[in-house]
Amino acid sequence: MTLALIGAFFLNNTFITAIVFSSWIVMVEGSSISRFFSNKVTVWLGTISLGIFVLHWPIYNSIGAFMIKQLYGSMSNGVLFALTFTVTSVIVVIGSVAFKMTVERYTSYVCSKVDCRIKKLCSRSNVK
């Protein structure tokens, strides 16, 4: 399976690579990879992953770029990179938690209400 994963990677097809990689993870259930993905921190990051996906790019490109512009030349590039990455990552995580508590909670509520309405309409149209 590992050879199939390597081959799929070199095919330069993201879809096939994702399928093979997912199959590989499922097949090695007791391995360190599956233990990594079942870790509490990793599972928690999975619960806020939509917020991370939505917020990381604007935050890194606004706050991160501002920090680099303001601090460039006052410290070494390595320290500047580490500081910028750490500060923006903390902001992304905090923003993602807030996103989950507000936007995701509200949209889940709205979607459940819409789903109930659709089910009621479907059940009325089927029963005559």
Q: Compute the half-sphere exposure of residue 110: CA atoms within 13 Å on the CB side of its CA.
A: 6
For tokens 């889940």, the residue is 108
- Max Cα–Cα distance, the chain, nearest Å: 76
Residue 24 reports pLDDT greater than 90: no
Integer CA distances (angstroms), 123 to 33, 100, 117, 128, in order? 45, 32, 10, 10
| 57 class by beta-carbon count within 10 Å (0-12 exposed, 13-18 middle, 19+ buried) | exposed
The rounded distance, in Å, linking the Cα atoms of 60 and 128 is 57
The pLDDT, as a whole number, for residue 15 is 72
Could you read off the pLDDT of 28-72 as tens digits, one per residue?
666 666 777 778 998 899 899 999 999 999 999 999 999 999 999
The residue ranking higher by pLDDT, 110 or 2, is 110
Per-residue confidence band for 110, with pLDDT thresholds at 50, 70 and 90: very high
Looking at every residue in the chain, the average pLDDT score rounds to 84
Task: Show me where the domains of the chain are located.
Answer: 1-38, 44-128
When pLDDT is averaged across residues 94-113 and rounded to a whole number, the result is 93
